[in-house]
C-alpha cells in the first residue's frame, strides 16, 4: 500500500499543483474569515436573525429588538456571497487548469493575480473604497478565471 501512497502523492510534488494548492488554501481561508467578520459585527452591533441567538438577552421585547438587520452586517454578508460566487469557481477551474499542463510561470501569474484581486476586493467592499475599486478588483478576478477556463477547454475539450 505504501507504493500506492507514494504514487498518489506525486501530484502534490508537481510545481504548478503546489502553487495551485497554496493559493487555493489562501483564498478559501480568506473567504472563511468573512464568517468571523460577520460574527464580529453581529455581536458588536447587536444585530441577529435567529430568536435562539438573542435568548440570553432576556425575554420578550427586550431580546426581540436585537432581531434586526444592520448595514455593516449586511455589507460583510454581501462580500461573503461575492466570494462564494467568485472564489469557488476559481477553485474548480484552477484544479483543471493546474492539471492541463500550463507553463509554471503563466500559472503562477494567474494564481497570484486572482488572489491579489480578491484580497483587494474584500478591502474595497469592507472599508469601503470609492468605486470603481470594487468593480475593478472583481473584474480582474473574473477575467483570470475565464482565462484559465479557456486554457482548460482548449486542452481537454471532449463534448
- Please count the helices (runs of H) and the strands (runs of E) in the chain: 7, 0
Q: Which of 96, 109, 119, 136 binds its own copies (CB under 8 A)?
A: 96
Q: For its own copies, how many residues bind (rule: CB under 8 A)?
A: 66
Cα gap 87→71, rounded to integer Å: 24
CB nearer its own copies, residue 61 or residue 131: 131
Of 84, 122, 106, nearest in space to 20 by CA: 106
Applying CB under 8 A, does 44 fall inside the site for its own copies? Answer: no
Residue 67 is given by DSSP the state B
CB-CB contact of 45 with 72 (8 Å): yes
CA 23 vs CA 26, 47, 107, 115: distances in Å: 5, 33, 11, 7
Applying CB under 8 A, does 62 fall inside the site for its own copies? Answer: no
CA angle, residues 79, 81, 83, in degrees to nearest 5: 70
Applying CB under 8 A, does 143 fall inside the site for its own copies? Answer: no
CB-CB contact of 83 with 145 (8 Å): no
Applying CB under 8 A, does 12 fall inside the site for its own copies? Answer: yes
Cα gap 78→89, rounded to integer Å: 17
Q: Which of 73, 101, 118, 137 binds its own copies (CB under 8 A)?
A: 101
Q: Which of 93, 117, 120, 144 binds its own copies (CB under 8 A)?
A: 93
Applying CB under 8 A, does 91 fall inside the site for its own copies? Answer: yes
CB nearer its own copies, residue 65 or residue 156: 156
Binding positions for its own copies, rule: CB under 8 A? 1, 4-5, 7-19, 21-22, 24-26, 28-29, 31-32, 34-35, 49-50, 52-53, 55-56, 75, 78, 80, 84-86, 88-89, 91-93, 95-96, 99-101, 112, 128-131, 134, 142, 145-146, 149, 152-153, 155-159
Amino acid at each position: 500500500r505504501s507504493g500506492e501512497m507514494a504514487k498518489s502523492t506525486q501530484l502534490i510534488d508537481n510545481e504548478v499543483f503546489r502553487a495551485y494548492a497554496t493559493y487555493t488554501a489562501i483564498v478559501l481561508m480568506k473567504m472563511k474569515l468573512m464568517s468571523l467578520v460577520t460574527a464580529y459585527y453581529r455581536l458588536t452591533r447587536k444585530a441577529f436573525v435567529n430568536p435562539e441567538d438573542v435568548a440570553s438577552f432576556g425575554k420578550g421585547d427586550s431580546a426581540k429588538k436585537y432581531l434586526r438587520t444592520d448595514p455593516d452586517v449586511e455589507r460583510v454578508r454581501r462580500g461573503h456571497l461575492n466570494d462564494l460566487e467568485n472564489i469557488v469557481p476559481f477553485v474548480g477551474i484552477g484544479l483543471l487548469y493546474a492539471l492541463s499542463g500550463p507553463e509554471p510561470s503563466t500559472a503562477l501569474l494567474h494564481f497570484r493575480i486572482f488572489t491579489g484581486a480578491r484580497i483587494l476586493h474584500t478591502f474595497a467592499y469592507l472599508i469601503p473604497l470609492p468605486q470603481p475599486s470594487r468593480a475593478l478588483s472583481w473584474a480582474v478576478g473574473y477575467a483570470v478565471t475565464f482565462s484559465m477556463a479557456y486554457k482548460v477547454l482548449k486542452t481537454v475539450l471532449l463534448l
